[in-house]
Structure 1
Amino acid sequence: MIRVGLIGAGYIGNVHLEQLVRIGGVQVTKIVDNTIELAKKAATKYGIESYSSDWKDVVDDPTIDVIHNCTPNKYHFEINKRALLAGKQILSEKPLAMTLEEAQELWELSVKKNAVTGVDFCYRYYPVVQEAAARIRNGDLGIVRMVHGTWFQDWLSMETDYSWRLEKAENGDSNVMADLGSHWFDLIQYLTGQRITEVIGDFATLIPTRKKPKSQVLAFQHIEEVDSEEFRCELEEYAAVHFRLEGNIPGSFTTSQVCNGRKSETAFEIYGTNCSYAWNHKDATRLWIGHRFKANEELIENANLMYPEAAQYAVLPAGHPLGYHDAVKHLFEDFYSAIENGAGAEDTMQRPTFFTGYEEMRILAAVLKSVRNRSWETI
C-alpha cells in the first residue's frame, strides 16, 4: 500500500482526494491545511486517520511515501524541495514554482534524487484529446500548419470577486497566464509533439480595483455581502500570446477570467496538411475533424474507434461520458504506475513530470519578458 500525505484541503485538494480514493493500492493517511477546520473536514469526509495545520508534519513523516502538493503557488517550491530532500515522490499542482529559477532547481533536484514526479496537467487526459495526439503522432493530420486556442472563464468578472491568484505575493508575477496558460500550452506541446520556441504576449488588468473579503475565500467561491477592503490588483485577468512552435509553426492563444457566461471553455484548433482537429472542454467527449473535399466528421468518445494508446483512457462504453474528475484520475494512475514500475525521474512527454513543469515556467518567463519589452522573445 502506497501511503500518501496531502497538503492543501481547498478546492483542488478535494479534487485530488476524490480521485485518490478511486485508485487501488493507494491510501491517504494524513492531510494538512493551514486552516485546521478544512483539514479536519476533509479527514472526516474521507476517513483519513490524522490531520494537521503544519505541512512539515507530512513531509517529514517517514511513513509517508508520496506527497500531493495542493497549496497556493507561493508554497510550491519550499514544500516540493523539502519533500524531494526527504526522499518522497511528489505530485504537485501547477505552476511548479513561482519563478523559473525555482522550477529549474526542482527539476534538477528530482533528477539527482531519481524521484517520480508529476504535475497536474490533467486536460491532456481526456480520451478524445489522447486520440487527437495519437492521430497526429501517426501522421493522420499530416504536417501541422498552425494552431489556435482560447480559454475563457467568468469567475473573476465582478469587482466583488477575489482570489489569492490575483496577489503577487501569493501567486507570482502572473495570474491567468500562469494558471490557465500553463494548462493550454501543455496541451499544445503534448498534442503536436513540438515545443514552443518564441512568444510575444499582451496582458491587461481589466478590474484594477476589487473588494477583498477580510475572511477566507476558497477558489471559485463567490461572496457578495461580506466585510471587505479595497484591493489594488496588479496581475492580469486577460492574456493573449502569439507564438511559434518548432519548425516555425505559428499559433495564437487568448485567455481571460472576466468573460461573463463562459464558465470554463478551453478550446484548441490544430490545422494540418491532411485535415484539422478541434476540441472544446464544454463538449469534452467530442473531437471535430475537418476536411476540405469530404464531409467533416465528429468522433464521440468510443474505445472501439480509437487508437489503442488513447482507447485505454475511454474506460466506459460509448455514450457514457467521462469528465474532469476522470481526466485527473487517469493522470494519477499514470503517476502511480510510474512509481510501481520504478520509473524514476524519466523525461517523457507522455506523462507530465517536473521537467514538464519546468518547461511551462520557461514559456511563462518568456511571455512575461515579452510583455515587459513589448517584443518577441526566444525560449
Structure 2
Amino acid sequence: MTDFSRMGAAVIGTGFIGAVHIGALRRLGVRVEGVLGSSPERGAAGAAALSVGKAYATLEDLLADPKVDLVHVTSPNHAHYQQVKAILAAGKHVICEKPLAMTSGESAEMVELARASGKIAAVCYNIRFYPLNHHAHGMVKAGALGDIRLVTGHYHQDWLAKPGDWNWRLESDQGGALRSVGDIGTHWVDLVSFVSGQKVAAVFADLTTFIKERQKPVGPVATFSAASGETQTRRIETDDAAMIMLRFEGGAKGVMTTSQISIGRKNSLQWDMAGSAASAAWDSETPDHLFIGHRDAPNQILQRDPGMMNATGAAAAALPGGHVEGFADSFRALFQQVYADAATGARAATSTYASFEDGHHEMRFCDAVLRSAAEARWVEV
C-alpha cells in the first residue's frame, strides 16, 4: 500500500472543482501544501475558506516548493496549456482538469512534453471512476455484452438555462469554441470510449445556441452559483446544446446529446450500450445501479457491491454495498491510482485513468464536431 502522507500536492484554482480535489486529497492522506488563485487576494481567500495553510503568490512560487510532488490544474480552460507546460518543465507530476487544452495543437504538444518528461500526466475524467463504470468496462473486455453495436445517451444539466445565468465557460476566449460539448460532452465521450473499448472515429454534429444574449455580472461568479448585482449584456457564441451522431473505430454506431439548458436535469449523464449478447446502461444520478439487459432471461439491476462485481469494478469501489459512492468518491478513486503511480514513477499496467493521449483525442473530437457542424457532414476524428 502506498503511504500517501509522504506526498505533497498543490492545487491551482480555488473554485468549485478545486475544492472537490482538495477534499479527495485529504481523504487519501495526501498533504495539500498550498493553493494558487487567479490573484494573490483570491488565492488567500480561497486558502482560508478551504483551511489550506499556504496561498502561493505566483505559479513560479508554487513550482519552487520542494514539498510539492504533484500539481492539480483546476483553472479555466485557457490557462491549462501554459500551466501544464511549466509544471512538467519543473519536474512535477500533473493532473489536469478537462478539456486538456483550448486546441488540439496545444494538446498535441502537451502529449509530447508529458512523454519526454517521464512524469505522470493524467486528465481528470473522474466519471470513469464510478465503480459500476469500471465493472461495465470489465464486462465488455470479458465479452459479456458480445460485439458492441449501438451506443446512445446524453449529458444534460440546467445550470445555464436562464439568460441571467453566467460562468466563464460561456466566453470562448476562456472556455473554448465549444461549451456544452467541450465541458460535459467530452466527459460522455471519454466514458463510453472507456467502457466500450472503442474510440469515436467520425461525427455528424448539430450545435445550437438557444440563449443568444446573456447578462454578465460585473463581479466574479463561482461555478453553479447564482449571479447578482450589476450586469452587462453579452452576445453568446458557444453551444447551449448539441446533437451528435457517432461512428466508433470498432464498428459501433451511436448518438449523443449534450445540454446545459435542460431544466430539471441537474447533472444527468446516461449511457446505454447494446451488444450482440446483452446490453448495459448507467445513469450518473443513480450511480450505484447498473442495468444489464437480456433477450432470453430476466433483466438485472446490479447494485454496486464489491462482493458481486468483477475484479475491475471491485478495485474501484471503497465502500460496502448499500453505502452509496458518488461524485466526490470518483475523484478519490482516480487520485488513488495517480498518486500510487507517481510514488513509483511510472504508470502501472492496471491503471485506468485518462492519459494526456486520451485528452488529446477528445480535443480532436471537438475539432471534428466544430467542422461537422459548420459543414453539415460527417467528419473523421
User: Normalising by structure 1, what TM-score?
Assistant: 0.96
State the shift of 1:140 in Å. 0.6
Change (3 A) 1:94 1:256: same
Match of 2:341 in 1: 338
Distance 2:308 2:352 in 1: 21
| Aligned counterparts, 1:58-97, within 5 A | 58-97=62-101
Match of 1:129 in 2: 133
> Deviations for 1:221-279, whole angstroms, at most 9, x for unmatched residues?
112x4100101001001111111111331101001000111101000000001111000
State the shift of 1:342 in Å. 1.8
Match of 1:247 in 2: 250
Deviates most, 202-211 or 34-43 = 34-43
Are the aligned partners of 1:190 and 1:349 in contact in 2 as well (CA < 8 Å)? no
Distance 1:293 1:347 in 2: 37
User: How many residues matched?
Assistant: 376
Match of 2:292 in 1: 289
2:142 to 138, 144, 165: 138
Match of 1:368 in 2: 370
1:9 to 8, 11, 14: 14
Matched, 1:57 2:61: yes
Distance 2:49 2:168 in 1: 25
The code of the aligned residue for 2:346 comes to A
Are the aligned partners of 1:238 and 1:256 in contact in 2 as well (CA < 8 Å)? yes
> Deviations for 1:97-122, whole angstroms, at most 9, x for unmatched residues?
00000000000010011110111100
The code of the aligned residue for 2:119 comes to A
Secondary structure class of the residue paired with 2:285: helix
Are the aligned partners of 1:33 and 1:55 in contact in 2 as well (CA < 8 Å)? no
Matched, 1:236 2:264: no
Match of 1:313 in 2: 316
State the shift of 1:46 in Å. 4.5
Cα RMSD for the two superposed structures: 1.5
The code of the aligned residue for 1:5 comes to A
Deviates most, 293-302 or 349-358 = 349-358
The code of the aligned residue for 2:135 comes to E
Distance 1:139 1:299 in 2: 18
Deviates most, 358-367 or 153-162 = 358-367
Are the aligned partners of 1:331 and 1:351 in contact in 2 as well (CA < 8 Å)? yes
Distance 1:59 1:233 in 2: 36
Structure 2: runs of 5 or more not aligned? 1-5
Matched, 1:187 2:191: yes
State the shift of 1:47 in Å. 4.0
Are the aligned partners of 1:151 and 1:264 in contact in 2 as well (CA < 8 Å)? yes
Distance 1:279 1:135 in 2: 13
Match of 2:203 in 1: 199
Deviates most, 272-281 or 58-67 = 58-67
State the shift of 1:190 in Å. 0.4
> Deviations for 1:26-85, whole angstroms, at most 9, x for unmatched residues?
211121102444422442344433203423321343442211111000100000011111
Distance 2:9 2:133 in 1: 29
The code of the aligned residue for 1:138 comes to A
> Deviations for 1:268-298, whole angstroms, at most 9, x for unmatched residues?
0000011110001111000001112222110
Distance 2:108 2:351 in 1: 17
Match of 1:226 in 2: 229
Match of 1:267 in 2: 270
